[in-house]
Amino acid sequence: MLLSNIVMEDDLWEKFAVQLTAHYIVVFTMCMADYNLLVFLNKHLPYSKNILYRVIADLAGLILISLTLLWVFDFMIYNILHVPPAGLPSFTTKFALGMLTNAPIMLVFELIYYFRSEQQAIADSEKAKREVLLFQHEALKAQINPHFLFNSLNVLSSLIYLNPQNANKFTKALSRSYRYVLSLNQQSAVTVAEEMEALNSYIFLMQMRFENAFTFEVHKSGTFENNKIVPLTMQLLLENVFKHNVATEESPLAIQITIGREYVTV
């Protein structure tokens, strides 16, 4: 408003209320027009599609909005309010003032949209990563459960003839282990206490299978049994431990699980 008064060579405070109202109407109208232009371009010509065409479209939209508003307000001033053109700035000057006002408004809208898009992209990326991890975990469970069952049945078959008493214990532990797996359904997380209880059954099954070929210890750096963990995580880790290491009575495999506030290490 100060700039327009200087251009029009008027006193700054002359007809201040009228000029202030007019400027607010102009700026508000520009904001609404720029916002709708941004929504339209983001839908039909996003930056990801073609940056050069988008910049050209932004510039063309700003020019069109400025020219349209200039024509509307000139019509109101000269044809409705019958203000004499003497002392008023030229069309070119008013157009330049309109562009100087309109460009920063559009820039602010673009920056707001950009930062919101970045935040949404980060959120979508994190969501996609979590979904991939869950999918991989489900795939691992699908692979390991038949393998685990096959090995367990082989051990059970041997125990039935060699040690019926241990075979009975083995069957109960296997039943508890699979009851836990079936109870998970589509749960994405369980408590550490639930996971450890199921792990004890799994360790018992492994002790029946490997006997004295490994040792197992659990260390806790606090009480975090109610913390959440992805189900069967520990069993999958231990299955890999047995799969990729040699365990014998002469050189037993030492397995340690450490549970902290925000981590579980094997």
pLDDT confidence of residue 13: 42
Report which of 193, 198, 157 is spatially closest to residue 176, judged by C-alpha positions.
198
Which stretches of the chain drop beneath a pLDDT of 70? 1-23, 77-78, 80-89, 132, 134-147, 185-186, 222
**C-alpha to C-alpha distance for 33 and 10, rounded to whole angstroms:** 29
pLDDT confidence of residue 3: 42
Q: Across-strand partners of 265?
A: 258
pLDDT confidence of residue 140: 57
63-99 burial code (b ≥16 CB/10 A, e <16): eebbeebbeebeeeeeeeeeeeeeebbeeeebbebbb
Its pTM stands at 0.46
Alpha helices in the chain (DSSP H): 2-8, 16-44, 51-75, 91-162, 164-184, 192-210, 233-244
**C-alpha to C-alpha distance for 201 and 180, rounded to whole angstroms:** 10
Under a CB-based contact definition with an 8 Å cutoff, are residues 47 and 54 in contact?
Answer: yes
Structural element, H or E, at residue 190: strand 190-191
pLDDT confidence of residue 22: 61
Provide the residue type at 257 as one letter. Answer: I
pLDDT confidence of residue 138: 62
**C-alpha to C-alpha distance for 150 and 2, rounded to whole angstroms:** 85
pLDDT confidence of residue 6: 41
